Amino acid sequence: MRVIGLTGSIATGKSTCSQTLSSPPYSLPLIDADLLARKAVEPGTWGYRRIVSTFGPTTPDLLLPASDPLSEGRENGPNGKGRPLNRPALGRRVFGNTEERVKDRKKLNAIVHPAVRVLMARAMLYYYLRGNWAVLLDIPLLFESGLDIFCSTVIVVAVSDPKIQMERLRARDPHLSPEDAENRVKSQVDVREKAARCERRNHGKKDACKGYVLYNDGSKEDLKVQIADAIQNIRYGSPRWWSLLLLVCPPIAVGVTGWEVLWNWHARRKTVQERGQELSKPKL
């Protein structure tokens, strides 16, 4: 099974690409890291309790009020396990480049990331057993978290001009102030750095099928044309018989996966040495 890692930065069009690939005619099984992250911090979970104990004492509005519709008017939440997290309040606490916010962001990542990875591994095993030829991992922090080494192919949705990214973010989330919008963009690694990192996965070979950068500077239709070309090339490199062989012979699948992860790890280590440590520092 081919693991396709999809990433980008806020307001670059990653969600549009994800929706396209998970819908006909591609219909790739989608594992959305953001959805898993929400699931990992639902009231009553280990992640939820850790976040409340870590940030609750210093963040008065960390939980939604009992009057909020999501709390259903109950002090202990709709299921009696606690009121849902106030995500905008938590975002204000961790987004930004100040020393305090960076420190808080690392604390939040240390809580959320391990839980998400467990849920992700379960989902990948499920789709492998179903015989799917590929699975799509939608992970905003693909490079920063180091999960790119588990991907057969990486797709980065990028924009060539930072102004396009800011304009789209303000149009999508009009409630954000200019400062909040800028903090959210700066809290992530520059998408052009991610694009450069992705292109290096091919080691200069156009037919390597290891990395694709889709520049979403135009319309959605322009992006969809790029998506179609990328998937056609990836599909050509993963014939149906190969997927069936990996399914019926798990030892081969384990061996191929192990070799691929080792190779990707080596390539990642070399890239970090050459381009610096920026992408090895997890951010939210």
User: What's the pTM value of the predicted model, to 2 decimals?
Assistant: 0.82
Which residue type does 89 have? A
- Looking at the structure of the chain, the number of domains it has is 1
82 alpha-carbon distance from chain centroid: 27
Give the model's pLDDT for residue 55: 93
Give the model's pLDDT for residue 13: 92
Judged against a pLDDT cut of 60, whether residue 277 lies above it is answered with no
Which residue, 15, 12, 63, 55, is CA-closest to 35? 15
Judged against a pLDDT cut of 90, whether residue 92 lies above it is answered with no
At residue 61, what are phi and psi to the nearest 5 degrees? -100, 25
Query: Bridge partners of 190?
Result: none
Q: What is the mean pLDDT of residues 162-178?
A: 86
As a whole number, the mean pLDDT across the chain is 88
Largest CA distance in the chain: 58
Which residue, 117, 97, 124, 95, is CA-closest to 39? 117
Cα separation, 273 vs 65, whole angstroms: 47
Position 278 confidence tier, pLDDT thresholds 50, 70, 90: low
Cα separation, 179 vs 109, whole angstroms: 23
Residue with more model confidence, 237 or 50: 50
Q: What is the pLDDT of residues 229-268, one digit of tens each?
A: 999 999 988 888 888 888 889 899 889 999 999 989 988 8
Structure tokens at 207: 């037919």
Judged against a pLDDT cut of 60, whether residue 216 lies above it is answered with yes
Q: Which long-range contacts (CB under 8 A, 24 or more apart) does 166-171 make?
A: 166/11, 168/11, 168/12, 168/13, 169/10, 169/11
Which residue, 142, 112, 202, is CA-closest to 6? 142
Strand order from edge to edge, sheet including 153-158: 30-32, 134-138, 2-8, 153-158, 211-215
Give the model's pLDDT for residue 45: 92
Q: Which residue has the tokens 């898993």?
A: 36
Judged against a pLDDT cut of 90, whether residue 151 lies above it is answered with yes
Pairing of strands 211-215, 153-158: parallel
| % residues pLDDT > 70 (the chain) | 96
Give the model's pLDDT for residue 185: 82
Give the model's pLDDT for residue 282: 45
Task: For residue 102, give its domain range.
Answer: 2-280
Cα separation, 176 vs 170, whole angstroms: 7
Give the model's pLDDT for residue 236: 87
Cα separation, 127 vs 232, whole angstroms: 21
Residue 99: CATH number of its domain = 3.40.50.300
